[in-house]
Structure 1
């Protein structure tokens, strides 16, 4: 009876999600032309440029220097993020708090709320706020990466520490170990491998985030991509994109090797990885101080303090007769933009999911090698390599850079924003869901294949029933991430709250910015709540 009820709930959830996606499409005015007059020709030029990127020595040297700057900002940001994550993650886990329940629960909730706020706001929004407060300094980018990534890492670290098996901890407690000793000799050794694994994944994400800091005027690969797009030089664009892809692939491979060696307790590779990480951290901070002449202490000068004070007071509406957040006339258009932003996120995850479902079966390694379908063909390997390559390209290019290119093709509005978000996320979804298929019990699928079932039938009757709960979890998780990112694609004319945020920053309407951020945070928290609720049903 319970299984039947759960099955009905999952089916109902799937139907609701499909209907919500279809509802989001009504926001687009399909009667109006969706493409620029020259959008089709521009699209062909961008695609053609992939085949022959600019490989001239000066462009390659520029790409190499820009890649190093991108990595430097990412490493420096992650250094501070790890400190934030460890401190607040331990406090949010409750492992150091007293065993008195009311105090312990209150303390954990307080620190989890701080982590929730830090990770709710996208790094590019933080960057724009820091540039307005402190000026165009590398630390505007570094702190913009550090704060949200510290919040994300801290939440994961807290969950890892909270979920530790109690038996080893109780054994240590019986010897009279203090809470600090329990932390360093009990909790951390048990979760160290998972902490390193997730930190490496977030480092890969930080590199992409570092690339989009170009939008606020800071250097790196994103800055060069933006300049090349402004000049309509798509061959240069793809050169810089290929360098960004190469960085992501190297970090992904390094992370995978480190995880597997940690599982096998290979101390030699782990030690080598630690020294490489240490060298990157030292090299990045030395570069910032020696070459960029960027001292962290310059942020705390009296002049910067005055600028920052004036800016943050302006956000609170100090000095304004009628701040935007107290005006009904300001709320109405912002609420409409909030609705458009919500629809953009739903449309984006819907498009990404559809493309993922079309491509995910041939993207699984056990389909390519014939273990799952009991049929081998060179074509399977060709389609596997092509689709997996598209996944790498898709997720290696940040959403903002996709939006910068797509805006040359589509008319401004939420559709190009949704397409840009979908393009980035379908590769992530595809990789995650293909790995789910690779971990499947192959015997039921083989029975279907041996009875003559087509690939579509294998997907509908064999694969999807087994993997749908995990697929739904990944889809809902990515929707949470997309909701945070919707504001970013709006910065380049893709509609929603982001476009209005950029205009308000340009016209110094700071109380408008506070209202926009408030509505944006409501959307992020709404997505978190609905996603968590839906995941419980999907399990």
Structure 2
């Protein structure tokens, strides 16, 4: 019964995705996209590492922002997780994680400028909300038996420290390591708003047509992610965390008067600042809603639903690449490389590259979202498939895929896809900064026009939309009784 319910939900999402496709702006508008793609491919296979000035500094700062931001986020998230049973804490955590790192960076840039604190807080704040949710789930799943055998009169703190933390620690460490990988991607992307990380140099090289430099930067980034488990060993992590703040670089001194003015004047709606009263505020909100919020919400939803369906298709194609039930070690090795590239490339970075090659439309964003998220879920489902034992006379080829593996993997596939739904929504909104008419486009336009009051309202709408989608996703999962390990609920 639950299998048929999963299929019905899948068909509903596919139908919504196909309907959204009719409203999506999908086109290749560049004059010669194949020539540009060929030039990029040649640049990637002929990387020029020697011409990149400051690459070592950019690499160090990318790592430093990631470690500092994730460390602050994990500590803050753990403290929030301890009080997660309180509704106000859950709502606060949901709100801060619903706002993308780039939105946080755009906010802090307005009063901190290009100070290291901008990048650190842009990572730490949303990650604190993510950590709070996942750490709370991990602690709730701890076996309660050890706490029952503690001596009478043991304090609550001692019971927590000795009965719950040791059991949860491996899962906490595993998830924190995963978030560090995400932090490296977030840190690199912060370069697109001017911070001195790898994304800054990638954008500069690409805009000048230096594709060999682009290839070198991409390869360096992939190597950084792929070798993370070798150089970020647990015993070295404390050293990295202590050293990271010293490699963040310098910035102009923070003018705290700008901070005060931002919160007391800049983000206050202009009708209130100008004394136009309730009537002026109503007109202002009406104009903002009709000309920016509603078009942004519509395009965000359309792009999200198309990307979600395409992500599912990419996942179903991708997971056999690393499954031991299809092909030998050599083919699986190539599959692992392809999925590492797909899931390691941030959606924003990939969408930026495709926009330069194909021209402005929703197509680059859809493809970027589908490849990245399909790579993540394909990797997880492929690992699940390797745990399945088939009978000796199991069919081969397509029959093995359709009749043996897919029915057993379909429920976790749907669970992971629903987990990624809200994440795809967050990324869809932020991709508007690249010129796609999602909510991020209108946020960025308002900031460029120094209309911070309009930008903040649009950011709040974006956060509310993400929370709504996350709530729907959670209820659908509960209805289908879908469950995956909380450590796999990656954002």
Give the TM-score normalised by structure 2. 0.91
Q: CA deviation at 1:149?
A: 0.6
What CA distance in whole angstroms lies between the structure 2 residues aligned with 1:208 and 1:15? 33
What CA distance in whole angstroms lies between the structure 2 residues aligned with 1:400 and 1:86? 28
Match of 1:347 in 2: 306
Q: How many equivalent residue pairs?
A: 476
Matches within 5 A, 1:102-501: 108-172=86-150, 174-252=151-229, 273-288=233-248, 292-293=249-250, 299=254, 302-310=256-264, 313-314=267-268, 318-320=272-274, 321=276, 322-323=280-281, 326-333=284-291, 334-369=293-328, 381-443=329-391, 446-449=392-395, 453=396, 455-501=397-443
What CA distance in whole angstroms lies between the structure 2 residues aligned with 1:145 and 1:187? 28
What CA distance in whole angstroms lies between the structure 2 residues aligned with 1:178 and 1:209? 40
What CA distance in whole angstroms lies between the structure 2 residues aligned with 1:253 and 1:49? 28
Confirm or deny that 1:88 pairs with 2:86. Answer: no
Confirm or deny that 1:17 pairs with 2:9. Answer: no
Gaps of 5+ in 1: 95-107, 256-272, 370-380
Per-residue CA deviations over 1:177-214 (Å, capped at 9, x if unaligned) read 11111121122112111111100100100000000111
Gaps of 5+ in 2: 483-491
Compared CA separation, residues 316 and 461, structure 1 to 2 (3 A): farther
Q: Helix, strand or coil: the match of 2:321?
A: coil
Q: Helix, strand or coil: the match of 2:209?
A: coil
Per-residue CA deviations over 1:249-300 (Å, capped at 9, x if unaligned) read 1224567xxxxxxxxxxxxxxxxx4441111011112334xxx3469xx65x
Q: CA deviation at 1:80?
A: 1.2
Give yes or no for contact 2:25–2:362 (8 Å, CA) kept in 1.
Answer: no
Give yes or no for contact 1:325–1:331 (8 Å, CA) kept in 2.
Answer: no
Give yes or no for contact 2:322–2:382 (8 Å, CA) kept in 1.
Answer: yes
Backbone CA RMSD of aligned residues: 2.2
Q: Helix, strand or coil: the match of 1:15?
A: helix
What CA distance in whole angstroms lies between the structure 2 residues aligned with 1:434 and 1:498? 33
Per-residue CA deviations over 1:332-389 (Å, capped at 9, x if unaligned) read 23212201101111111222221221232132134334xxxxxxxxxxx443233221
Greater mean alpha carbon deviation, residues 35-44 or residues 192-201? 35-44
Give yes or no for contact 1:335–1:519 (8 Å, CA) kept in 2.
Answer: no
Match of 1:372 in 2: none
Compared CA separation, residues 143 and 244, structure 1 to 2 (3 A): same
Give yes or no for contact 1:365–1:438 (8 Å, CA) kept in 2.
Answer: yes
Match of 1:260 in 2: none
Confirm or deny that 1:72 pairs with 2:51. Answer: no
Where relative contact order (Cα < 8 A, 6+ residues apart) is larger, the structure is 2
Per-residue CA deviations over 1:116-143 (Å, capped at 9, x if unaligned) read 1111111110000000122221110100
Give yes or no for contact 1:325–1:514 (8 Å, CA) kept in 2.
Answer: no
Confirm or deny that 1:48 pairs with 2:46. Answer: no
Give yes or no for contact 1:403–1:494 (8 Å, CA) kept in 2.
Answer: no
Give yes or no for contact 2:70–2:180 (8 Å, CA) kept in 1.
Answer: yes
Per-residue CA deviations over 1:432-474 (Å, capped at 9, x if unaligned) read 111111111322xx4332xxx4x22221111111100001111
What CA distance in whole angstroms lies between the structure 1 residues aligned with 2:230 and 2:11? 38
- Which protein shows a greater Rg? 1
Q: Helix, strand or coil: the match of 1:442?
A: coil
Compared CA separation, residues 505 and 118, structure 1 to 2 (3 A): same
Q: Helix, strand or coil: the match of 1:408?
A: helix
Compared CA separation, residues 89 and 382, structure 1 to 2 (3 A): same
What CA distance in whole angstroms lies between the structure 2 residues aligned with 1:318 and 1:392? 50
Q: CA deviation at 1:230?
A: 1.0
Per-residue CA deviations over 1:418-440 (Å, capped at 9, x if unaligned) read 12212221211221111111111
Give the TM-score normalised by structure 1. 0.83
Q: CA deviation at 1:312?
A: 5.3
Q: CA deviation at 1:399?
A: 1.2
Compared CA separation, residues 170 and 384, structure 1 to 2 (3 A): same
Q: CA deviation at 1:495?
A: 2.6
